[in-house]
Amino acid sequence: MSNQNSVHPKAGAFQRRLAALASGPHADALRQGLRGIEKESLRVTPEGALAMTPHPRALGSALTHPYITTDYSEALVELITPAEADVAITLERLDALHRFAYAHMGDELLWNDSMPNALPPEDEIPLGEYGTSNIGKLKHVYRRGLALRYGRTMQCIAGIHYNYSLHEDVWRTWQALDPSSTLSAKDFQSERYFALIRNFRRTNWLLMYLFGASPALDRRFVEGKAHAPEAFDADTFYLPHATSLRMSDLGYTNNPAQSDLLPNYDDLGAYCEVLSRAVGQPYGPYEAIGTRHDGEWIQINTNVLQIENEFYLTIRPKRVTNSGERPLHALSQRGVQYIEVRCLDIDPFEPTGIALETARFLDAYLLYCALEDSPLLPHDASVEANGNFSRIAKEGRKPGLTLNRDGQTIALKDWAEELFDAIAPVAATLDALNGSDDHTRALAALRPRIADASLTPSARVLRIMRDNGQSFDEFALVLSRQHADDFRKRPLSADEERKMEAFAAKSLKDQAAIERSDTESFDAYVAAYQVYKPEREGV
């Protein structure tokens, strides 16, 4: 029933699976998977300069707080929601995290845009600090390595990560419908998540078209780069038809060391093997830098990747890890638990960075990707998918734009309409189970963007900048101030505030306990952390 090796998906196959899953005794499980959101935002001053202050202690420990941490920089706040079955509740949790953060940030703002503000010189951008424990020092050294490899400016790009899982009863019911399956429950679930990932890779250009919101950037971001975009004004560069410069070769996707690294999505074992080789393969320019300078650690190792998370993927198979555990070890030992969509820009027009309409669309789209037949992705198909994604990121709103599908040219609009037609019955099924029309309405609201690119967020950004005579920084600062005012006018209730303060206090105590319990040297800790061999058995 999984049909992984067919060259083309069978018409209607996913609808038969959908009907079977939606009509059985476990039909309700289709709407009971979990949704979580991680949102990154730079802290900036009221004037829009990068905040040079430490991560506010009132927000808790960036090392151990479950919901509030930092990413690359001390100024790059990351808000992480609990996982919920209803994404509307997920967004309520994200809203509450913003309100708590604003209550403890003084007059600072959260920059509500994926591309950074006018940053200070590279060596002045503060790296994340996580205390004196071995795991805390490892996180800091990893960021020092990223600075050496890619520069601090690039690491200040921010985004939305959307975590998605189906309820395990869905996988068990599906497997029961497939008499040919001889896999264990864990392996069947991992196989189906990888099928979702392959379909996502083929069609994720659609997300960039619909939701890309970074067509412009501050000119200082591209200083010294060989291929700069066009000048919008004295302080801003842009591409006239771009949807997401963040996801173009001006952002995350351009790195010589990773240029030949193409993950294998055939199955979990193949995926783990490719990334494990990358974290163990020396790379000449990084070897020339070394791991220490004047006795201080400056990168974890000199390999293509310091750790597997260094490779930027638009989607990742994930498993909750134990403290200090490698993500690849968790995956290979216990299988795929959920997927993480990583290509979404922050929506600058939404206070939390993502609209409920967007999330509803994602839920229907990702379920479609899970249910549809999923041929394997050989090298040529993977390269084709990358090419389509890159083209949309840089010129997705170009009139008459075409993409490549199975080696043939197809108009973007035609393929997008086909995908919306395919996603529609999935949305209708979710709505029937929920007793609502939320997903169907989301598709209906977004579909006009296919025919009219001026309705997309990227087009809206440029139109407002032109109409108001704003640079990119001015545009982003105005919206960030508006969102800050909204959050500050809606403080948490006294009970909610006490609960969040308790989380922050506990995280500080947890960090102190970890620091007290460390007994081995940092050198020994790093050596032990880097030992990883993929487990093929049971994958």
Tally Cβ neighbours within 10 Å of residue 341.
21
Question: Element (H or E) spanning 465, and its range?
Answer: helix 457-468
pLDDT of residue 425 exceeding 60: yes
pLDDT one-digit tens code per residue, 339-349? 999 999 999 99
What pLDDT score does 322 carry?
84
The per-residue pLDDT of the chain, averaged, comes to: 93
Domain 13-177+186-529 has CATH 3.30.590.20: yes
* CA-CA-CA-CA torsion sign (364, 91, 211, 305): negative
Q: Mean of the pLDDT values across residues 184-208?
A: 97
Report the pLDDT value the prediction gives residue 98, as an integer from 0 to 100: 98
Please state the separation of Cα 480 from the chain's center in Å: 21
Q: In which band, very low, low, confident or very high, does the pLDDT at 440 lie, cut at 50, 70 and 90?
A: very high
Mean pLDDT of 453-461: 98
Banded model confidence at residue 179, pLDDT cuts 50, 70, 90: confident
pLDDT tens per residue across span 8-53: 445 568 899 999 999 988 899 999 999 999 999 999 999 999 999 9
Most confident of 226-240, 274-288, 470-484: 470-484
- Please, which residues have CB within 8 angstroms of residue 252's CB and are 6 or more apart in sequence? 154, 157, 246, 312
Enter the DSSP assignment of 401.
Answer: -
Task: Dump pLDDT digits (tens) for 103-123.
Answer: 999 999 999 999 999 999 999
One-character DSSP codes across 261-324 = -----S-HHHHHHHHHHHTTSB-HHHHHH-SEETTEE--S-SBS-SSGGGS--SEEEE-PPPTT
Pairs from 487-493 (Cβ < 8 Å, separation ≥ 24): 487/95, 487/98, 487/99, 487/102, 487/351, 488/102, 488/103, 490/99, 491/99, 491/103, 492/96, 492/99, 492/100, 492/103
Question: Is the pLDDT reported for residue 356 higher than 60?
Answer: yes
- Contact between 476 and 348 (Cβ < 8 Å): yes
**What predicted TM-score, i.e. pTM, was given to this entire model?**
0.95
pLDDT of residue 321: 87
